[in-house]
Amino acid sequence: MIFSISWKNIWRSKTRSLVVILAISFGLWGGVFGVGLMSGMINQRISAAINNEVSHIQIHHKKFMENDEPKYTIDNVNNIIAEINKITGIVSSSKRFKIQGMANKSGRQSGVYIIGVKPENEKKVTQIYSKLKDTTGTYLDNENPKDVFMGEKLARSLSIITYSLDSSSLENLKTLKINEETLQLIDTMSFQVFRTEAKMKNAMIDCIGEEDFEKYESKIRNTLAVYKSRKKVVFKMQGHDSHNIGVARRVCGVYKTSNTTFDQMNVFMDYDKLAEETGFSKDQAHEIAILAENTEVVDEIADKLRKMYPDLDIQTWKQLQPDLAMMTEYLVLYYYILIGFILFALAFGIINTMLMAVLERTKELGMLMAVGMNKMKIFNMIMLETILLSLTGGVLGMILGWAFIEIFSKVGIDIGSSGEGMEAMGYDAIIYPDITFDFYIGVTLLVVFTGIISAIYPARKALKLKPVEALRTV
């Protein structure tokens, strides 16, 4: 009966109640969608770090991670990998050489990590092969051991990628969302080739202006980019006995991940050919990368490996990427703090509305007390009205937030000109919002808690009423 009365009381002043419900709805809608954006962005970064950069677990010599010296290798690596692959929960593992070096082409240099991999095994522990850019060639294969697979950022630095403004690229630009006036200005630059990104950028700024170029930079750069196939690059590094060596490689393909720093710093070569040129044994490696079935079993597998190989350094992705580990551990707390602040602000509106409702019904409440309704029932009625008011707005807000997350989780949100800066930090330029069902349960509990807290003062105000005095109220 109290529930029915409380629900009807909410709608006695429809306008006032709707204002509060809509305020709660829009506040939670924004909060839930904001949390979905953060969650999606961070989950994409974690997924990219595991799938493209570090895998779930890595094994090194105890001293290798201190300064990356090539002499600190894992010996008898083939037997170790055979034993590792027998462990339940491990999908696959791959041995690698990892040597600091310099990439050099036509006087242009860049510091890199030269990573020697077995192409067929590497495909089982990372997805770097799937990040091959269209029209830039192929991934590594056993038929061409003198190939190198490098990132787009490095390829641009070494002028392996040039920029051509021909009829084909102009047609492609017209299919993108670029305003007509800007396209007409770009058309005046037809049939030009720019050797470097910097020259292309300067020419475009002179033509269309800095503001328009920043707005369309990513689209223009990607459309005009032309890959120079099979270009030769010289790499300098230290060999097995610490002497300097140089090796020549032809670029077989260019990859692009969501982390431009990774793309700039890492090149992939054939493991066997690199071992031959550097003097390492094919039973040695600097690193073993391991992919597990899922993140839940990673710590358990790492503990097993530490017992099996106490002389080696076993690290999980959380230890290799501590910033992401910290985000994972505190992510849920950040979400609830954000929603908590929103509900805290909304609580003042709820208190004000319920206080007005109590004061307007002073005579009515006095009459209820006079005919025998005790103060506890009055208190419960006011509490229930507030909780129902809060829940109505909360549920509506979460439904709106869920609907928008579902829509944008499929189409994504392109952050435009900010994408370049995001990729420099390892985050995708297109964000796909994501959120777990547990979060909605937690928010519902927070809404109920907010309703209870907001109801205390108005309910206490109602309890202080004296039936005789209340009945005298006009």
Domain edge (last residue) among 255, 285, 310 = 310
The answer to whether 334 and 366 are in contact (CB under 8 A) is no
Q: Are residues 142 and 291 in the same domain?
A: yes
Within-domain flag for 57? no
Q: Are residues 39 and 90 in the same domain?
A: no
Q: Are residues 101 and 180 in the same domain?
A: no
Q: What is the pLDDT of residue 465?
A: 62
What predicted TM-score, i.e. pTM, was given to this entire model? 0.80
What is the spatial distance between Cα 132 and Cα 185, in angstroms, rounded to a whole number? 32
Three-state secondary structure readout of 126-164: CCHHHHECCCCCCCCCCCCCCEEEEEHHHHHHCCCEEEE
Within-domain flag for 263? yes
Q: What is the pLDDT of residue 406?
A: 92
Q: Are residues 455 and 365 in the same domain?
A: yes
Query: Which strands make up the sheet holding 225-227, listed edge to edge?
Result: 192-194, 161-165, 225-227
Q: Which of 446, 421, 393, 415 is nearest to 40 (CA)?
A: 415
For the record, the structure tokens of 142 come out as 């056993």
What's at 467, amino acid-wise? P
Within-domain flag for 91? yes
What is the spatial distance between Cα 78 and Cα 283, in angstroms, rounded to a whole number? 6
Q: Are residues 69 and 81 in the same domain?
A: yes
What's at 209, amino acid-wise? G
How crowded is residue 327: how many other Cβ atoms within 10 Å of its Cβ?
A: 17
Q: Are residues 96 and 141 in the same domain?
A: yes
Within-domain flag for 56? no
For the record, the structure tokens of 449 come out as 């808690």
Three-state secondary structure readout of the chain: CHHHHHHHHHHHHHHHHHHHHHHHHHHHHHHHHHHHHHHHHHHHHHHHHHHHHHCCEEEEECCHHHHCCCCCCEECHHHHHHHHCCCCCEEEEEEEEEEEEEEEECCEEEEEEEEEECHHHHHHHCCHHHHECCCCCCCCCCCCCCEEEEEHHHHHHCCCEEEEECHHHHHHHHCCCCCHHHHHHHHCCCCEEECCHHHHHHHHHHHHCHHHHHHHHHHHHHHHEEECCCCEEEEEEECCCCCEEEEEEEEEEEECCCCHHHHHHEEEEEHHHHHHHHCCCCCEECEEEEEECCHHHHHHHHHHHHHHCCCEEEEEHHHHCHHHHHHHHHHHHHHHHHHHHHHHHHHHHHHHHHHHHHHHCHHHHHHHHHCCCCHHHHHHHHHHHHHHHHHHHHHHHHHHHHHHHHHHHHHCEECHHHHHHHHHCCCCCEECCCCCHHHHHHHHHHHHHHHHHHHHHHHHHHHCCCHHHHHCCC
What is the spatial distance between Cα 372 and Cα 385, in angstroms, rounded to a whole number? 20
What's at 254, amino acid-wise? V
How crowded is residue 228: how many other Cβ atoms within 10 Å of its Cβ?
A: 14
Q: Are residues 146 and 249 in the same domain?
A: yes
Longest dimension (CA), the chain: 101
Tally of CA atoms within 13 A in the half-sphere of 417 that contains its CB: 8
Q: What is the pLDDT along the chain (474 residues), one digit of tens a residue?
A: 677 777 776 777 788 888 888 989 999 999 999 999 988 888 888 889 999 999 999 999 999 988 888 999 999 999 999 999 999 999 999 999 999 999 999 888 999 999 999 999 999 999 999 999 888 889 998 889 999 999 999 998 898 888 888 888 888 888 888 888 888 888 888 888 888 888 888 989 999 998 888 888 888 888 888 888 889 999 999 988 888 999 999 999 999 998 999 999 999 999 999 999 999 999 999 999 999 999 899 999 999 999 999 999 999 999 998 888 888 778 888 888 888 898 888 888 888 888 877 767 666 666 766 766 777 777 778 888 888 888 899 999 999 999 999 999 888 887 765 656 667 677 777 889 988 888 888 888 889 888 888 888 887 777 666 655 555 555
Q: What is the pLDDT of residue 150?
A: 95
Q: Are residues 255 and 396 in the same domain?
A: no
Q: Are residues 345 and 433 in the same domain?
A: yes
The answer to whether 185 and 207 are in contact (CB under 8 A) is yes
Q: What is the pLDDT of residue 253?
A: 93
Beta bridge partners of 193: 164
For the record, the structure tokens of 315 come out as 């690290």
Within-domain flag for 219? yes
Q: Are residues 147 and 178 in the same domain?
A: no
| Strand bridging mode 147-151 / 244-255 | parallel
Q: What is the pLDDT of residue 362?
A: 67
Residues spanned by the domain of 87: 63-159+229-310
Domain edge (last residue) among 310, 335, 354 = 310
Q: Are residues 106 and 40 in the same domain?
A: no
What is the spatial distance between Cα 428 and Cα 416, in angstroms, rounded to a whole number? 11
Domain count, the chain: 3
Cβ-count burial of 71 within 10 angstroms (0-12 exposed, 13-18 middle, 19+ buried)?
middle
Q: Are residues 286 and 354 in the same domain?
A: no
Contacts of 275 (CB under 8 A, 6+ apart): 97, 116, 281, 282, 284
